Chain A
Amino acid sequence: MAEQQTEFLWKVGAPAGQGVMTTGLLFSKLCAQSGGQVFDYAEYPSLIQGGHNTYEVLCSNTPAHNRQWQVDYLVCLDAITLKEHEHRLDASSIVVLDPATSSAPTNPAYTIVPLPVKELLAELKASSIMANMIALGASWALVGGDQKHLVELIAEQFGKKGEEVVNLNQNCAARGYEAVKSALPDHAVFAWKDTTETPLVMGGNDAFSLAAAAADCRFYAAYPMTPSSSVLATLAAWQKTTGMVVRHAEDEVGVISEALGASFAGVRACVGTSGGGFALMTESISYAGIAEIPIVIFLSQRPGPATGLPTATEQGDLLFATYAGHGEFPKIVLAPGDVTEMLELSRHAFDLADIYQTPVIVLSDKFLSESRMHLDQTVAEQVMATKPNYGRTIHNPSELPYLRYKVTEDGISERLIPGAAGTYYQANSYEHLEDSHTTEDPTERCRQVEKRLQKQQTYLDHHWLMPSIDGSLDGAKYVFVTWGSSKLVVQQARQLLDEPTAHIHFTHVYPMDREKVATLFAADRHYVLVENNATGQFGTLLRSEAGVDIKHTIHKYDGRAFYSEEIVAALEQHDR
């Protein structure tokens, strides 16, 4: 009996267009269905053909939060895979490659298992794309998975395409499985659990899509832009089920204009984009601000400036999102750190947009949008079943004359859905009177400015949430501070550190309550701000919004997410 593993990182690499995403997704499903906790991440260049794609799965006995530097199993479907990832291998790593396409190094510092993909394909009379199934079978044998699960999953996955397709895929996978099994009869394999549960595994974009559907969002508009595009595809595919209208409009200006129109007419509306598209939307965000039109904006960041690194990740648009739109008006920015927070906050974003009648931005990034991780079924069901809070949305005027922009103590006025009999009003982009007519009167101008800004204070008093705190701030050698997706790496890094640490994680990043936030920061503690960007944008925000200045910061801006080992190394270097 071989020794058992509690965690491993598996990675597959192949030329683009070779179906490596399918191999990765199915491998991850096998792991999750066999009791592993998974965290997957795919990397691909901004090319359709000719690039190099990879998919990695971290599988663990305990919750998996992030990627891991060391690759335990590397499955190479081309020569580049080994070259690009060799530096992440060590003595215990196992590399699977086809001697016919990749030359195996002499005296490698790791184990090599030959997998004669080309030969097997010829024998099976299968096309070259089927290499991904041979790789899947081989991978499943590598980690000691049960062949029965493999056979079943393939049947389920390809069942719709007919028996012939299922058989071919199963045969290819079986040959891959057997090849590794016979080459490696006895090695440390993962401690799989017998489970009947099928856990929920999804990426941030999936969680956002679920939240939108559950939140009674009836109109979603977008113009494709990585890494937000899969929300458009997902919601579009669900239209028949949900009844939502999903529009691929002509450009991002059209996208948000349409959404504002739909919102004015009374349906919850949302748009999704990345930095460039968001930039085009900013004038309309300002319109939503003055006309007090609810709108949820999903902004999945990728590295800029301009077209930047389209398929890479960065937390580079926090300040842009926060300050987007000309003029002064309230805006709420939420930054979930994992899929659970994505579901909860996005669901809540639609309520906040209605309650405060102003733009609400949900910030994601490529890493969070596309990494797949576990989400508790009960939590998911609960969040999705929450009844919408439409705030002061009304269908009949409570008094006449109806004043759309009535000045109130909390800044919020009743928003009448157009079509109600006996009155009318306009959503006016000019400064206006309480009854919505245009005005240039200085007194009325000030009243409306103050009314709108009051909503920000009302939000801070009623719905803003303090950051979550994990660990004890007192006695912690390091207190990590994160926002958005850098939560994931810090969670993982803390497990690698022996010293006591704590973690302050912000989700309600803008606006924030100055006094309350300041109470978390004491002069004698060592705070470390971790941001996936070059300039420390949350650090800037903390200085301006809370008067807090964190000196020790860790940044990464090469377009890749952090590895937990990098955090540990950065701390060691700092202490040296």
Chain B
Amino acid sequence: MIDSQPSSLDFTGYTPTWCAGCGNWGIGKGIELALKKQQLSPDSVIMLFDIGCSGNMNDFINAYAMHTLHGRALATAVGVKIANHKLPVLVTGGDGALYGEGGNHFLHACRGNHDLTVIVHDNSVYGLTTGQVSPTASKGKKSKSTPSGIIERPVNPLLLALTQGATFVAQGFTAQLPQLAELITAGMQHKGLSIINVLQPCVTFNKENTYAYYIKNTYKLPEDHDKSNFSQALEQAQAVFEERFPLGILYQAERPSYQDELPQLASEALVNKQRFLNNSALLKQFT
């Protein structure tokens, strides 16, 4: 459990500037619900916002936060968590940011199993820069930057996270708010790297991956899905290739997080430790 005292501070910040009907509204709400459910308050959580429509949530949700550079929220979060692993750390950003510009950080954060919760706003476009294709765009998708249709195949975020070592992999849909809030809560409670890919219609620039499209093509994971079974998780993740999108926790495994494996953090948070003073121990190595 996360120990914190509820305070009078409120998570609700500025009124969002997202387009009416944008899937980001649901994600914002889902995050707020999950934080409240865990009795957290804006002073007891650290959030990292990437740059994009999604990242603009920096002003809409109150918390200790970094609004980083495009693609860098996850890498920045790695440092935050090492410095103070006692605070829950949440990362949110677009699929362009997390799977594209910051793709390398994504691979290595999964490998490291850093104790972070990553919420990816997957809208298959670059919203903020007005609708170019993102790494999850379907092959052939036409956009301002790909007038003849994109040649590359889409990234499969679930498969990517699973194969690179994330220990919690889930998918949510912004229109299914209660489940989304539950997934975020479960991800935050999980020790290790949690990846939650959220299907998020961009109503302004994506006329294909709409609410109707996702309502038609999403499905609940079968009752007997065993989330501790890696092979089953891989199988479900492959459904995406057939434009079928599983919703729920595909995979959850217990593995020591990066922070667990750092002896420096065994007793208390790095930020609260006593300062190193034994200079002579180091100096004598140079005589």
Contacts and interface: CB of A to CB of B under 8 A. Distances in A.
B43 A422 contact: yes
B287 A261 contact: no
B107 interface: yes
A284 B70 CA distance: 10
A388 B274 CA distance: 13
Given A264-B80, A381-B279, A384-B283, A251 B104 contact: yes
Interface stretch (A235-243, A476-484, A496-504): A235-243
Contact of B286 (A200, A267, A417, A427): A200
A206 B43 contact: no
Contacts of B281: 241
B87 A254 contact: no
A428 interface: yes
Contact of B67 (A242, A420, A427): A427
Contacts of B270: 218-219, 243, 245, 262, 267
B64 A218 contact: no
A107 B150 CA distance: 75
Interface in B21-73: 42-44, 46, 48-49, 51, 56, 58-59, 62-69, 72
A415 B280 CA distance: 32
B282 A258 contact: no
A267 B83 contact: yes
Contacts of B84: 265-266, 418-419
B283 A426 contact: no
A381 B107 CA distance: 43
B44 A291 contact: no
Interface stretch (A118-126, A208-216, A303-311, A523-531): A208-216
Among A200, A259, A263, A265: residue with most chain B CB under 10 A: A265
B271 A254 contact: no
Contacts of B9: 422-424
A283 interface: yes
Contacts of A198: 287
A213 B273 CA distance: 14
A244 B51 contact: no
B148 interface: no
A200 B284 CA distance: 8
B105 interface: yes
B212 interface: no
A426 B67 contact: yes
B79 A210 contact: no
Nearest to B265: A245
Interface string B265-276: 100001101011
Contacts of A213: 276, 279, 282
B43 A421 contact: yes
Contact of A429 (B42, B67, B108, B287): B67
A438 interface: yes
B43 A261 contact: no
A219 B271 CA distance: 10
A430 interface: yes
Interface in A415-463: 417-430, 437-438
B78 A267 contact: no
Given A253-B75, A381-B279, A422-B43, A430 B108 contact: no
A3 interface: no
B76 interface: yes
B263 to A, nearest CB: 8
Nearest to B275: A216
Nearest to A257: B75
A174 B14 CA distance: 79
Interface string A381-414: 1001100100000000000000000000000000
A245 B264 contact: yes
B72 A253 contact: yes
B278 A241 contact: yes
A377 B78 CA distance: 38
Contacts of B58: 426, 428, 430, 438
Contacts of A254: 75, 78, 104-105, 108
A417 B76 CA distance: 16
A560 interface: no
Contacts of B265: 245
B43 A424 contact: yes
B119 interface: no
A250 interface: yes
Interface in B226-282: 262-265, 270-271, 273, 275-276, 278-282
Contacts of A421: 5, 7, 43-44
Contacts of B198: none
Nearest to A240: B263
Contacts of A201: 286-287
B77 interface: yes
Nearest to A284: B69
Contacts of B78: 247, 249, 254, 257-258, 261
A260 interface: yes
Interface in A252-288: 253-254, 257-267, 269, 283-284, 287
B82 interface: yes
A263 B83 CA distance: 8
A284 to B, nearest CB: 6
B59 A239 contact: no
A441 to B, nearest CB: 14
B66 A427 contact: yes
B283 A200 contact: yes
Contacts of A243: 264, 270, 273, 276
Contacts of B5: 421
Contact of B76 (A206, A247, A261): A261
A512 interface: no
Contact of B282 (A241, A247, A251, A427): A241
Given A260-B76, A260-B79, A419-B44, A287 B69 contact: yes
Contacts of A377: 283
Contacts of B79: 219, 221, 257-265, 269
Contacts of B76: 257-258, 260-261, 264
Contacts of A548: none
Contacts of A249: 75, 78, 108
B105 A239 contact: no
A114 interface: no
21 contacts: A199-B287, A201-B286, A202-B286, A219-B270, A241-B278, A253-B104, A254-B75, A254-B104, A257-B79, A258-B75, A261-B79, A265-B46, A265-B84, A381-B283, A384-B279, A419-B64, A422-B9, A423-B43, A426-B67, A428-B66, A429-B69
User: 9 nearest interchain CB pairs?
Assistant: A261-B79, A258-B79, A265-B83, A257-B75, A418-B64, A262-B79, A261-B80, A426-B65, A250-B108
Interface of B: 5, 7, 9, 13-14, 42-44, 46, 48-49, 51, 56, 58-59, 62-69, 72, 75-84, 86-87, 104-105, 107-108, 262-265, 270-271, 273, 275-276, 278-283, 286-287
